[in-house]
Structure 1
Amino acid sequence: MFIISLRYVVPVEQVEAHMEGHLAWLEKHYASGTFIASGRKVPRTGGIILARGVREGIEACVAQDPFVVNGVADAEIIECAISRAVEGLDALQD
């Protein structure tokens, strides 16, 4: 399991210019089964994505995010081994 933490490095107005491409990128990786959850940080300083796969694949995926490509966000990839989850969130466990 991977936690991808996106942090905006420009004002949100500049991020918005790349939102359509970012949403299409998210959809592509949800459809492939790589992404299992995502959402904005509160306050809106970036976002979080929960992903599964191998690190090299996740790194390649993140490198294609329009936010990252266009330099409006930095990404941190955190790997974790989920050993326990509430009922219904079994997909989070390794």
Structure 2
Amino acid sequence: MFVVILRFADKSKAPRFMDGHNAWIRRGFDEGVFLLVGSIQPNVGGAILAHGTSLEALEARVREDPFVAEGVVGAEILTVSPSRTDERLAFLKG
């Protein structure tokens, strides 16, 4: 499981690339990789919970985000190895 942290580097460029960024997010959900996407408050960036992929494949996917490619955000990927979960999230312990 992975947590992707996207922190704004140049928020002023965000409006130009928002449609592409949203399409990238939709693709992540459609392909079953993204489980959750949300804003980091107070409006400093976003976070993504991802699973069912390798670190290398996720790194490549993150590089395809227009926000990352155009320097709107910087990306950090945290690898989490779940050892205990609520039963509703047991599928993450694979």
Q: What is the TM-score with the length of structure 1 in the denominator?
A: 0.90
- Equivalent residue for 1:24? 23
Q: Superposition RMSD on alpha carbons, in Å?
A: 1.3
* Structure 2: runs of 5+ lacking an equivalent: none
- Equivalent residue for 1:84? 84
Paired with 2:10 and 2:91, the residues of 1 have a C-alpha distance of: 34
Paired with 2:28 and 2:66, the residues of 1 have a C-alpha distance of: 13
Give percent identity, aligned residues only.
39
Q: CA deviation at 1:91?
A: 3.6
Q: What is the TM-score with the length of structure 2 in the denominator?
A: 0.90
Greater share of residues in helix: 2
SS at match of 1:58: helix
Q: CA deviation at 1:90?
A: 2.8
SS at match of 1:89: helix
Q: CA deviation at 1:41?
A: 0.5
SS at match of 2:88: coil
- Equivalent residue for 1:34? 33
Equivalent pairs, count: 93
Q: CA deviation at 1:89?
A: 2.5
SS at match of 1:16: helix
- Equivalent residue for 1:68? 68
* Structure 1: runs of 5+ lacking an equivalent: none
